[in-house]
Amino acid sequence: MRKRIGLMLAVLLILIAAVVLLDGRQDRPQGKFMIRLLLSADRSTLDISLEDYLIGVVLAEMPASFELEALKAQAVCARTYTLKKYFSASSHEGEADICDDIRHCQAFVTPADYLKLYPENQWAVDKVKRAVMDTRGEVITLAGQLIEPVYHSTCGGHTESSQVVWGTEHCYLQGVPCLWDSSSPYYRKVANMSVEEFRKNLNLDAKTPPIPGELESTENGTVAQIAWGKIVMSGQQVRQALALPSAKFTIAVNGDQVAVTTRGNGHGVGLCQYGTNGQAKQGRNYQEILHYYYQDITLYRVEY
Least distance (Å) between residue 151 CB and Zn ion: 10
The number of beta carbons lying within 10 Å of the beta carbon of residue 226 is 22
Phi, psi of 136, deg, nearest 5: -45, 130
Closer by beta carbon to Zn ion, 187 or else 304: 187
Closer by beta carbon to Zn ion, 148 or else 181: 181
Between CA 73 and CA 280 the distance in angstroms is 10
Closer by beta carbon to Zn ion, 155 or else 165: 155
In terms of Cα–Cα distance, which of 260, 234, 258, 263 is closest to 246? 263
Closer by beta carbon to Zn ion, 12 or else 272: 272
Closer by beta carbon to Zn ion, 183 or else 192: 183
Give me the helix-helix angle, 50-61 and 68-86, nearest 10°: 120
Least distance (Å) between residue 293 CB and Zn ion: 9
Least distance (Å) between residue 124 CB and Zn ion: 23
Q: Are 242 and 202 in contact (CB under 8 A)?
A: yes
Q: Interface residues with Zn ion (CB under 5 A)?
A: 99, 104-105, 155, 178, 181, 272, 275
Closer by beta carbon to Zn ion, 111 or else 270: 270
Least distance (Å) between residue 254 CB and Zn ion: 29
Helix (H) or strand (E) holding 63, with range, is none
Q: Are 160 and 167 in contact (CB under 8 A)?
A: no
Least distance (Å) between residue 38 CB and Zn ion: 7
Chain-centre distance of CA 196, in angstroms?
A: 34
Between CA 55 and CA 50 the distance in angstroms is 9
- Gyration radius (Cα) of the chain, Å: 21
Least distance (Å) between residue 105 CB and Zn ion: 3
3-class secondary structure, 206: coil
